[in-house]
A = this chain, B = another copy of it.
C-alpha cells in the first residue's frame, strides 16, 4: 500500500456535507490540519427520513441541520457553499463554481448519489424521484394536489386517475412511500372530502424482481408484502416499466403489457453516482461501476492517488464478501471515521489496516406499527421492528442535533394520525 507522511497544517478538502463528509470533518477536529468542507447546500440532510417530508409528516427543517452549526466548534474547519466543477489531481487542486481553485494535500470525495432513470431521463418530469429536499416537496405537492383535484372532478373515471398512485421500485424507499401514501388515504384524510372516500385511493407498487425489499431475507420480504397488502397497497412484482407519460404508465409482466392511468407516478427504482465521479475518472483513470460509483482500494483511496479518498454512497467498496457495500448511512459513517483515523496516522508517518465494514443489520419501515428489521442474529417484523426503527432514528436525531421537536411531532402524529406538514407550496407565489 502506498502512503506518505503528512506535514502538520496540511490542507484537507472534503467535498460533500452528508454523513461521509461530516463525520470525516468531525474525526479531524482538534487536529493541526486545515480542513475545508465544501457543499452546494448549507445543511446536512438526514436522508432516511426524507420520505416523511415527501408524505407530509415532517418539515424540511426537522430532518436537516445547518453544516455551520454542526461544525461550529471545529475551529480548524471552514465551510464553503460551492459546487465542485473540476479536479486537478496532479496540481492537487479542485476548481469550484466561481472558478476559484482550492489546493489540497488530501482530498475526500463524498457527494453521494441521485436517482436514475436507466436511460429514460424523459420520465423524470412525469415520475419524480426522491433524492433531496426539493424532490420531497415536489412529491408532497403532487400527492396532496391529487386528492384536491379528485375533490373537484365529477367524472368518476377521471377522478379515479387522480386517486391512483403508482410507485416504481420496491426497495426501502418505494416501500416507505407506498406505506405512507396508504396511511394518508386510510387515516389522515378521513372525512376530509365531500365528493369521494379517500379510502378509494389505489396504491400500486411496481418491482422488477420477484419480491419487494430484494436485498432482505425472503421471510422479511413476505412480511413486508403482507403488511403492505393489509394497508391496501397492490404489489406487482416481476414487472418492468416500459413507458411513462403525463398520466399513463405501461408495465410489462411476462408477455402482458398493462396500461395504468395515474396522475401521480413516483420513481424509487435506482440510483447513480453524482456527476463528480465522471470528472474524477477522466482526470485519474479510476474505474467506475455501472452506476458510476468509484471503485476504491482497500483503504478507500483510489488507484495511484493515495491522497484522494472516495467514501459513502459515491464509492464502490468490494473488498469484503466480493460485493459492493450498500448505500446506507452506517457505511458512510464508518468509512468517514476510518479515513479520519488514517489521515491522523499519516501525520505520524504510520498506516492502518484495510477498512472493514461492521454490519449491524438493516431496517425498513412500512407504516405505523409496521416495519421489518434484519439484525443478522434475529429477524423482526411488526410493532417491535417499528418501535426499534423509530427509537433508533429518534436517538440518532437527538444525539446529532438535539431535534427534540421531531420526537414531539412524532408522538403527536402517532396519536392523531395527523399530517400537519401537508401544505402545497409550488411556484404560484406571484398570482396572489
Contact = CB atoms under 8 A, between A and B. Distances in A.
B144 A425 contact: no
A60 interface: yes
Interface string A401-432: 11111001100100010111111110111011
Interface stretch (A79-87, A236-244, A283-291, A300-308): A79-87
A316 interface: no
A114 B80 contact: no
Given A72-B191, A405-B412, A412-B402, A151 B421 contact: no
A157 to B, nearest CB: 17
A422 B80 contact: no
A80 to B, nearest CB: 6
Interface string A273-292: 01100000000000000000
B193 A68 contact: yes
Interface string A51-94: 00000000111101110110011000011111100000000000
Contact of A152 (B72, B82, B145): B82
A201 interface: no
Contacts of A79: 151
A345 interface: no
A43 interface: yes
B42 A432 contact: no
A192 interface: yes
Contacts of A193: 68
A40 interface: yes
B152 A60 contact: no
A21 to B, nearest CB: 15
Contacts of A65: 420
Contact of A42 (B191, B412, B424): B424
Contact of A144 (B42, B72, B145, B405): B42
Interface residues of A, number: 68
Interface stretch (A126-134, A251-259, A333-341, A372-380): A126-134
Given A425-B133, A429-B134, A419 B66 contact: yes
Interface in A146-170: 148-149, 151-152
Contacts of A425: 60, 133-134, 137
A66 B423 contact: yes
A5 to B, nearest CB: 27
Contacts of A403: 420
Contacts of A189: 68
Contacts of A80: 151-152
Contacts of A29: none
A61 B423 contact: yes
A60 to B, nearest CB: 6
A73 B138 CA distance: 29
A66 to B, nearest CB: 5
A120 interface: no
Given A192-B69, A404-B408, A432-B274, A422 B42 contact: yes
Nearest to A195: B78
A140 B125 CA distance: 27
A7 B191 CA distance: 27
A385 B23 CA distance: 43
A100 B144 CA distance: 22
A41 interface: yes
9 contacts: A60-B423, A66-B423, A69-B192, A132-B432, A134-B428, A137-B425, A275-B432, A403-B420, A405-B420
Interface of A: 40-43, 59-62, 64-66, 68-69, 72-73, 78-83, 98, 100, 114, 131-135, 137-138, 144-145, 148-149, 151-152, 189-195, 274-275, 401-405, 408-409, 412, 416, 418-425, 427-429, 431-432
